């Protein structure tokens, strides 16, 4: 689904950026232009980044050594 219609950025692309280390809307704006035009996508983009961060944090294997 398109999140940023102005720049043609999808939720999949935002998740890929998050996997590569993008953690803030400012970083996402710099790398992909998200929320740099009308700004209507900002809250959805932040939500996707937050969901990805919580998923990544919860799925890290723990060392039992």
How is domain 2-58 classified at the CATH fold level?
Arc Repressor Mutant, subunit A (1.10.10)
The position carrying tokens 């998050």 is 18
**Domain residue ranges in the chain:** 2-58
pLDDT of residue 65: 46
pLDDT of residue 60: 45
Q: Which residue has the higher pLDDT, 8 or 55?
A: 8
pTM: 0.82
pLDDT in tens, 15-57: 999 999 999 999 999 999 999 999 999 999 999 999 999 987 6
Q: Are 34 and 41 in contact (CB under 8 A)?
A: yes
pLDDT of residue 57: 64
């Amino acid at each position: 689904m398109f999140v940023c219609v102005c720049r043609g950025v999808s939720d999949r692309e935002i998740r890929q950026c998050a996997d590569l280390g993008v953690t803030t809307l400012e970083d996402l704006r710099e790398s992909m232009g998200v929320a740099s035009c009308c700004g209507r996508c900002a809250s959805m983009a932040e939500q996707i980044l937050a969901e990805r961060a919580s998923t990544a944090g919860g799925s890290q294997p723990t060392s039992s050594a």
